[in-house]
Amino acid sequence: MASPEFPSLERSLEEHLPPDELRNVRRILLGGEPRKLSLPAEALAAASELDFELAAFGFEAAEEQLRPARLVRVGLVQNRLPLPPCAPVAEQVGALHRRIEEMVAVAAQCGVNVVCFQEAWTMPFAFCTREKLPWTEFAESAEDGPTTRLCQRLARAHGLVVVSPILERDEAHGDVLWNTAVVVSSSGAVLGKSRKNHVPRVGDFNEATYYMEGTLGHPVFQTPFGRIAVNICYGRHHPLNWLLYSLNGAEIIFNPSATVGALSEALWPIEARNAAIANHCFTCAINRVGVERFPREFTSGDGKPAHRDFGYFYGSSYVSAPDGRRTPGLSRTRDGLLVAELDLNLCRQTGDIWNFKMTGRLGMYAEELTAAAQPDYRPHIVKE
């Protein structure tokens, strides 16, 4: 894995490559020179004061005759825990609420219309421990828990849509837990929720000890700023998950995540970007930052000695466009807000160019998958 203190791939290239080589490398790596947006001076000053990275890029589309440009600004927030996991639950939640309030205020100054936080943003990613208390105390009602109420206040105050991934306590169904993203409209109303459809059993990701696969399907939310969906964390490894959000009309798919260097860093630049390409939509991949040290030791099923942390979360949040372009990633080490201005007209334009929906042969695959899902499926293997 890359070392925890390595700040970012893109910065390394910028520092060391001669300008013409950098241009060629960026065309291959990022799909072209990223177009930087200029931001208000007060937002830049606030980000510096509050010690987080602030970067902003734009993706334009071609001009059309019948549709005006549909410009939307998304904000991706990545952050470390302000307090350690050993602090009292209420204090940890309070500190995270305050941090996010600060960062959302800057997002609003930057004209952000839809902001998305990292997975399970109100808590440490404690599922590595397999302990229940105190971690399950971070779970809240998606409809009217304190975090959703905070998001409603933020949405109304700033006129933006908030995507808030939390650990949900579902009191209406026997108090079970879910990994859920709450979508709050810019009006302040809870528009709905989306649940993690695929639950990992890999490395220290012992989430299956806490919650099951979501049963809400692949909802897409019509907001004043376009149709959005939320593919939570490990769901990004499953191309079918992205596809179904896209078939339901998503123009932007957020992927709030929590993932660590040793496991997934080489996969990170690939999967959400592939999904943007394959589905003619924008994707927004968000990862938390830093090392979270737990009060009690646990093992990792790898034969190594017990220890107290999960490894380091490498940030690197980024946005991919349907035509394969992407922004540079945010830092691997610092809190950050990535602003991206998207012209949503690019989705249909790219689809009309590449035609993956038209050439996708959905009916054939529906039949083949139905067959493959049968208990007595026999793979099509040709032998000599």
Segment 6 to 35, residues that bind a second copy, using CB under 8 A: 6, 9, 12-13, 16-18, 21, 24-25, 27-32
What is the rounded CA–CA span in Å between residue 185 and residue 76? Answer: 17
Residues classed as catalytic: 119, 196, 233
Q: Of the ranges 47-55, 61-69, 145-153, 230-238, which one interacts with a second copy (CB under 8 A)?
A: 230-238
List the one residue out of 91, 121, 51 whose CA is nearest residue 313. Answer: 121
What is the rounded CA–CA span in Å between residue 286 and residue 203? Answer: 20
By CB under 8 A, name the one of 73, 99, 158, 218 that touches a second copy. Answer: 218
By CB under 8 A, name the one of 91, 270, 297, 299 that touches a second copy. Answer: 270
By CB under 8 A, name the one of 43, 230, 244, 289 that touches a second copy. Answer: 244
Give whichever of 47 and 160 is closer to a second copy, judged by the CB atom.
160
Q: In this structure, is the dihedral angle defined by the CA atoms of residues 322, 324, 327 and 333, taken in order, positive or negative?
A: positive
Answer yes or no: are the C-beta atoms of 217 and 240 closer than 8 Å: no
What is the rounded CA–CA span in Å between residue 75 and residue 160? Answer: 10
Give whichever of 97 and 196 is closer to a second copy, judged by the CB atom.
196
Q: In this structure, is the dihedral angle defined by the CA atoms of residues 15, 76, 89 and 124, taken in order, positive or negative?
A: negative
The CA–CA distances, whole Å, from 173 to 67, 169, 170 equal 44, 9, 6
Q: Of the ranges 139-147, 151-159, 164-172, 366-374, which one interacts with a second copy (CB under 8 A)?
A: 366-374
Residue 217 burial (C-beta neighbours within 10 Å; 0-12, 13-18, 19+): exposed
Number of residues that bind a second copy (CB under 8 A): 88
Q: Of the ranges 61-69, 211-219, 281-289, 290-298, which one interacts with a second copy (CB under 8 A)?
A: 211-219
For residue 248, state whether it binds a second copy (rule: CB under 8 A). yes
Shortest distance (Å) from residue 27 CB to a second copy = 4
Shortest distance (Å) from residue 278 CB to a second copy = 5
Give whichever of 84 and 365 is closer to a second copy, judged by the CB atom.
365
By CB under 8 A, name the one of 33, 42, 175, 213 that touches a second copy. Answer: 213
Give whichever of 39 and 247 is closer to a second copy, judged by the CB atom.
247
For β-strands 336-343 and 71-78, DSSP reports them as antiparallel
Tally of residues, the chain = 384
What is the rounded CA–CA span in Å between residue 190 and residue 253? Answer: 18
By CB under 8 A, name the one of 217, 295, 297, 299 that touches a second copy. Answer: 217
Residue 331 burial (C-beta neighbours within 10 Å; 0-12, 13-18, 19+): buried
User: Hey, which residues between 188 and 207 contact a second copy (CB under 8 A)?
Assistant: 189, 191-192, 197-203
Contact pattern from residue 320 through residue 359 relative to a second copy, giving x for each residue in contact according to CB under 8 A and a dash for the rest:
----xx---------------------------xxxx-xx
